[in-house]
Structure 1
């Protein structure tokens, strides 16, 4: 097994356990309430998480068997499955999450070493199967926050290794993005600097954004409006960060 999946598996197990603990503490009323994702209840988020596990099993199965298999039969099928699962009782949602997680674990365990290097299909571009476990970690961590239960789980609860890796990934993803000004991110936890946005014509950023690791990632990933960040533009600190931050491109 390649190093990345071997490292990711216990991390995913811990993330899934945290998610299930939150779900087990939820009420039926909370399940039907709005999540942080527009148009979705918490039931929609949980249904998506279960179906995403099965979709990633499809990718691993395709890599293992040599028969490329898409995550979902179609975008329409994906949406229909989420809608169909969203209104189920909490006990069914929790059981489905556990069962789908077990199926994912079984698919990982069935992967021979050579299969981890096989490219798997994705709407944003193919990638090696060894990246599948990390993608599942991202789904679990981000959507756990999207449940909108900050007393149970919030960006500040994200594990530090996840936050640090995602800060690098998203800063690189938005690097050179059209319409995003040259922005410097200063992580007050680690004192690390991340640069993103428009190509650098000089070393003077259009925006200098400071905050904790989790605060910066919450903003970059769309889980925060950035109101808790310190934002400066051309040496002037802006009084209303949420209104003055540059608009980020969609995550895709």
Structure 2
């Protein structure tokens, strides 16, 4: 079982980095587009705040969201808010998540996330860490995948390689970093094996749908097209 306690510390540290960076913005820049199609910075910040509350629901045994439509409506409602309101909401929702994470609990229990997905409660803090790190990059305010803690990069590649393992749309694919770390994924579609190599940041960017993979080296076929997360 994953030790959730260090991940809670990492979530707090990542949130602190995000809050400091966002505090340097202004109201106009909050309305500007991000690297996520159709989302302004306000949308990303609203999503991060509501995701923190949704994961509190998960830890406390409630449905993560009332519904998919309600999730989207909450983001649209909160996206236009001014910077000071966004910051306060992000800070306060993060504190609620940390409080829920600090409460005594059976971290080996199974919890339900969105769309019927289940996981160990012990992995919920890491899932929140991923939300904060990747969406900080999505904001397009100077924080890149190369700036993300290396431990997170490797663990998120682990997570995504496992997620796409055996996927019916992904051929057998070997992943390798320039530093020598290797993974395997896919295997459910015809073709392969395909070898994909690059920096850890570029591999993560491709797996997480943040980069097109053009910086990666590919052997044995074309770079696989990955399904959306």
Task: Tell me if TM exceeds 0.5.
Answer: yes
Higher Rg: 1
Query: What is the number of equivalent residue pairs in this alignment?
Result: 228
**Is 1:248 matched with 2:226?**
yes
Change (3 A) 1:200 1:78: closer
CA distance in 2, matches of 1:213, 1:126: 27
**Is 1:131 matched with 2:116?**
no
Offset of residue 30 of structure 1: 1.8
What TM-score, normalized to structure 1? Answer: 0.84
**Is 1:228 matched with 2:228?**
no
- What are the equivalent positions in structure 2 for 1:46-61 lying under 5 Å apart? 46-61=45-60
Equivalent of 1:216 in 203, 206, 226: 203
| Structure 1, unaligned runs of 5 or more | 63-68, 235-243
Contact 1:184 1:205 in 2 (8 A): no
After superposition, the C-alpha distances for 1:171-203 in whole angstroms (9 at most, x for unaligned) are 1211121122222211102x02212222599xx
Offset of residue 137 of structure 1: 0.5
CA distance in 2, matches of 1:19, 1:100: 13
Equivalent of 1:157 in 113, 127, 147: 147
Equivalent of 1:84 in 72, 77, 99: 77
**Is 1:121 matched with 2:112?**
yes
RMSD: 2.0
CA distance in 2, matches of 1:54, 1:155: 25
After superposition, the C-alpha distances for 1:18-65 in whole angstroms (9 at most, x for unaligned) are 111111112222211111112111100000000000111111222xxx
Question: Paired residue for 1:107?
Answer: 100
Larger CA deviation: 162-171 vs 178-187: 178-187
| Structure 2, unaligned runs of 5 or more | none
Contact 2:170 2:188 in 1 (8 A): no
Offset of residue 205 of structure 1: 4.1
CA distance in 2, matches of 1:206, 1:127: 29
Structure 1 stretches of at least 4 aligned residues deviating more than 6 Å after TM superposition: none
What TM-score, normalized to structure 2? Answer: 0.92
